Structure 1
Amino acid sequence: MENYTVLIWVIGGIVALFIFFYFIPVNLWFTALISGVRVSLVELVLMRVRKVPPSLIVNSLITATKAGLDLSSKDLETHYLAGGNVPTVIKALISADKANITLGFQQATAIDLAGRDVFEAVQISVNPKVITTPKVAAVAADGIQLVAIARVTVRANIQQLVGGAGEDTILARVGEGIVTSIGSAGTHKEVLENPDKISKLVLQRGLDAGTAFEILSIDIADVDVGQNIGAQLQTDQAQADLKVAEAKAEERRAMAVAEEQEMKAKSQEARAKVILAEAEVPLAVAEAFRSGNLGIMDYYKLENIQADTDMRDSIANPQQKSSTKRKGSSDKK
């Protein structure tokens, strides 16, 4: 029984020591003390209560102190509670201080909380970065397409990292400048002979305004000749004009056919009127016989005159007579 009591006391003592050293990290306090960092045990305990890892704050504070930076544990703890990356900020501050770049703690934390890698920004500021643009196609004044690739050397602008535009904006502006420069060239040969003209014209436009970068240089890496856009446009225009002309010709043909059909209809209408008029002649002759205005001899004279007229027409136009006979025979059949 006494053995069990002793075992319980031993286990309780171990647990108590573990809890004591967990909430009161004496080793960490001693490490900070010999490193020249003033952090009390109470502050370390309060960090545990606020769920802030004391080792992260103390180690970052030791690193900053050894680098000559004047920071406090409260500043680092506040940045951690705000969701920032404390070690990255410390590395960025040390790199900026060694490179003689003006970067304060408040500015570094603001950049970090904005979602940008402040340490990478300092590195790009020290060691400029080269961005390669995708292929940019543009057409010169002579209608020849050119495809250009540019390499843009940029340096991070620390003062505009918060709220400044990123790499996509730089690429878009450089691409727009290349298109404008090639489009303003008289011929594509001018661009091929002097590609540096594109770089000079693009640099003069101040494309890095409002961005998080400063453009140091723009170098045209490659320029290739593409399609003959001018000739292609002329071909398309010629095909379009041909289709318009064909449509107008078809319209005129349709109008001519309609007019011809209309004339045929009018001719048939006139022929019908003549037939109706000729049908009234026998009636008029019969009426003249009944009224005594026309005698039998007069009728025979009229028939002789008509026969004489038909004979003269047949002599003058024998082919017309033969065709008329064939037509009459076919009508009788």
Structure 2
Amino acid sequence: MEGIAGLTIALVVLGLMLLVLLSWAVPVGLWIAAIASGVPVKLPNLVGMRLRKVRPASIILPLISATKAGLKLDSNGLEAHFLAGGDVQRVVNALISADKANIELSFRQATAIDLAGRNVLDAVQMSVNPKVIETPRVAAMAKDGIQLIAVARVTVRANIDRLVGGAGEETILARVGEGIVSTIGSSASHKTVLENPEAISKTVLAKGLDSGTAFEILSIDIADMDVGKNIGAALQTDQAEADKRIAQAKAEERRAMAVAVEQENSARVEEARAKVVQAEAEIPLAIAEAFRRGEFGLRDTGHES
């Protein structure tokens, strides 16, 4: 009896383990939910997902959402995107949002955008609700030398067709900043810019700055503009100071040269004077030597009587 009881317990435990393993390998509940939602999926396909290390719920639940939204997707495409490292739920949500907003977005295009590292759902939402990005403070100088510091708000909408390979927000901000600098720099007076700031927006917007980017610029608005330094006057002051220093340096150079010439002339005078003194000192010696040799008499001196 004890042997039969032990065998029964072992069989019960083994049966429970097999049941747990079977429920893990064959997600019957998920299969029933899919069938009830009108998603044609077979149990062997779910088992195959387990064997391919794909969580069935990550494929079936988004597929149910897509089917309920009226989209025609298949589990093989979703599973392939999952295995490629994509976000299946985000792609499906983006497709549903695009369909509701009448935005043309194919499954192939959505998966390509997702695998490229961009948030395809955010892109669809940005196509529906444009985003406003603000430039940093951009400083530029008008032709009259006055500096202006401007801040612009750029309203952009995602361009679905250029999301793969298109430049990002940083490029938009850089181009807008460059356009602001160019427009202010070409203005004759800073007062003209202050009186008509929308001219900057129109000029910059007309340059087609969104070319090659993942966005479409809808508007550019100057949010703030301040008057900065009088750079022209500062440059003139610096130039005058530089000219002054150059003139002082040249004057000092000329003075030093004059002093050097004067010292050289003084040295030459002293040298000549020394030679004269030396020559005068040698005259008595020469006369004495002449007397000694008898080559020089009183007649030669003019004292003969």
Is TM-score (shorter-chain normalized) higher than 0.5? yes
Question: What's the offset of the Cα at 1:78?
Answer: 0.4
* Whole-angstrom distance in 2 between the partners of 1:25 and 1:258: 105
Question: What's the offset of the Cα at 1:8?
Answer: 1.5
* Aligned match of 2:6: 4
> Is the 2:298–2:304 Cα contact (8 Å) retained in structure 1?
no
What is the 5 A alignment of 1:13-92? Answer: 13-92=15-94
* Aligned match of 2:134: 132
Give aligned pairs, total.
298
Question: What's the offset of the Cα at 1:270?
Answer: 2.0
Bigger drift between 98-107 and 52-61 goes to 52-61
* Whole-angstrom distance in 2 between the partners of 1:276 and 1:49: 120
* Whole-angstrom distance in 2 between the partners of 1:106 and 1:207: 28
Listed as ranges, the gaps of 5+ residues in structure 2 are none
* Aligned match of 2:143: 141
> Is the 1:285–1:294 Cα contact (8 Å) retained in structure 2?
no
Q: Which amino acid aligns with 1:170?
A: I
- Distance verdict in 2 for CA 1:284–1:7, change over 3 Å: closer
After TM superposition, the score normalised by the length of structure 2 is: 0.94
* Whole-angstrom distance in 1 between the partners of 2:282 and 2:153: 101
1:136-166 Cα shifts (integer Å, max 9, x gaps): 0111111111110000000000000000000
Question: What's the offset of the Cα at 1:281?
Answer: 4.2
* Whole-angstrom distance in 1 between the partners of 2:115 and 2:244: 64
* Whole-angstrom distance in 2 between the partners of 1:9 and 1:281: 148
* Whole-angstrom distance in 2 between the partners of 1:86 and 1:165: 24
1:182-205 Cα shifts (integer Å, max 9, x gaps): 111111111111101111110111
Asked if 1:105 is matched to 2:107, the reply is: yes
Residue of 158, 164, 179 corresponding to 2:181? 179
Listed as ranges, the gaps of 5+ residues in structure 1 are 299-333
> Is the 1:136–1:147 Cα contact (8 Å) retained in structure 2?
yes
* Whole-angstrom distance in 1 between the partners of 2:44 and 2:117: 33
* Whole-angstrom distance in 1 between the partners of 2:160 and 2:89: 19
Residue of 96, 100, 109 corresponding to 1:94? 96
Question: What's the offset of the Cα at 1:26?
Answer: 1.6
Question: What's the offset of the Cα at 1:296?
Answer: 2.5
* Aligned match of 2:208: 206
SS of the aligned residue for 1:224 comes to strand
Question: What's the offset of the Cα at 1:14?
Answer: 1.1
* Aligned match of 1:294: 301
Question: What's the offset of the Cα at 1:284?
Answer: 6.2
1:27-70 Cα shifts (integer Å, max 9, x gaps): 21111111111001110110110011111211111111111111
* Aligned match of 1:258: 260
1:59-104 Cα shifts (integer Å, max 9, x gaps): 1111111111111010000000000000000000011111111100
* Whole-angstrom distance in 2 between the partners of 1:69 and 1:241: 77
What is the 5 A alignment of 1:296-311? Answer: 296=303
Q: After the TM superposition, which segments of 4 or more aligned residues of structure 1 sit over 4 Å from their partners?
A: 283-289
> Is the 1:142–1:188 Cα contact (8 Å) retained in structure 2?
yes
Question: What's the offset of the Cα at 1:297?
Answer: 6.5
| Two-structure CA RMSD over aligned residues (Å) | 1.6
Q: Which amino acid aligns with 1:293?
A: D
* Whole-angstrom distance in 1 between the partners of 2:279 and 2:271: 12
1:100-153 Cα shifts (integer Å, max 9, x gaps): 111000000000000000000000001000001110011111111111000000
SS of the aligned residue for 1:65 comes to helix
Residue of 247, 250, 254 corresponding to 1:248? 250
- Considering only CA atoms, is the larger Rg found in Structure 1 or Structure 2? 1
Identity of aligned residues (%): 64
* Whole-angstrom distance in 2 between the partners of 1:20 and 1:37: 22
* Whole-angstrom distance in 2 between the partners of 1:34 and 1:270: 127
After TM superposition, the score normalised by the length of structure 1 is: 0.86
* Aligned match of 1:117: 119
SS of the aligned residue for 2:140 comes to strand
Bigger drift between 166-175 and 237-246 goes to 237-246
SS of the aligned residue for 1:293 comes to helix
- Distance verdict in 2 for CA 1:278–1:36, change over 3 Å: same
* Whole-angstrom distance in 1 between the partners of 2:28 and 2:16: 16
